[in-house]
Amino acid sequence: MAADRAKSDMEFLGGRRLRRPRATAWSRAMVRETHLSSADLIWPMFVIEGHNERTGIKTMPGVERLSVDLAVEAAKAARNAGIPALALFPNTPDHLRSEGGDEAFNPDNLMCRALTAIKSAVPEIGLIADVALDEYSSDGQDGLVLDGQILNDETISVMVQSALVQAKAGADIIAPSDMMDGRVFAIRQALDQNGFEHVQIMSYAAKYASCYYGPFREAVGTGERLKGDKRTYQMDYANSDEAMREIAQDLDEGADSIMVKPGLPYLDIVRRARVNFNVPIYAYQVSGEYAMIEFASAAGSFDRQAAMIESLYAFKRAGCNGVLTYFALEAARLLNE
């Protein structure tokens, strides 16, 4: 009786069996809708002073800060794995940090030396330079501070100078991550006026005030020195429509591509951006997301590599052209096998 009823149900459905294409590996490969390759991955890299120096990051198991010479070797490994670009972040020594963040536009700063060394040794890999003051300021803020207030236009002036020395040092993409109003236009104008029309801007257009940045702040040395929070410029995580306005404004100002940050908790923002804007869209699988996978897998919650790959597919499925991820090198090698 039950078998007859099941047969009747299938006849009603016209014999449609959605499991059929999933029955074998070759068939699943044929109907797969989303594809992930090493070319979809951008590797964020932390650089430090010294020679042949590498230091671990307590809250990011497996991720290290690298001196410039080792960053060059890492860039070669990335190129060999088919990773198209690196995103660089300096851990500026304490004695060079200041309230005004002047080290940000020192043409011989750590970031610029890393850009030049990598571009010279591995010219075929793209270099993305982070532009914000938190890596150079003594208070850990992304902007200049006066009487407890973050100064918007004054901050932009410093960021423009920083972007120019980075472009001169070899940056292919300038990535302003500060969320100051008008900074994309100011940087685009300055780049064009100084002969860097070819340098792209990847704007952190929808960057939320998030707890998921904690390990990153340890990595670049801003965590303990951060005074206050960043909620007057980074976005409220309760808002979605606002993100669309931020993205539209940055594109109008000259951004070539946009980024959503953090990543997995904000895939709805990625999807809305994909539906609303026909532009390259990236997401940053931030340090806290990486740490959750690492610590949960270490506790035996799930298979680490499976979680890594599944999470990266989620970004592509949501509409990303690419993903900034600390898993980049490992994932690229795995995908290439």
- Annotated active-site positions, please? 207, 261
Structural tokens at position 52: 């042949």
Is 56 in a helix, a strand, or coil? strand
Round to whole Å and give the CA distance between 333 and 313: 16
Q: Whose structure tokens read 């938190």?
A: 134
d(CA 234, CA 231): 5
User: In what helix (H) or strand (E) does residue 274 lie, and over which residues does it extend?
Assistant: helix 267-276
Structure tokens at 244: 């669309």
Q: Which of 136, 115, 211, 148 is nearest to 178 (CA)?
A: 136
Assigned token pair, 290: 């990486």
What is the torsional sign of CA 132, 137, 141, 147?
negative
**Facing residues of 304 across strands?**
none
Check the CA dihedral 179-182-187-192 and report its sign. positive
DSSP state of 200: E
Q: What are phi and psi of 90, to 5 degrees?
A: -90, 145
How far apart CA 88 and CA 189 sit, in angstroms, is 23
How many CB atoms are located within 10 Å of the residue 238 CB? 7
Provide the CB-side half-sphere exposure for 287 (13 A, CA): 24
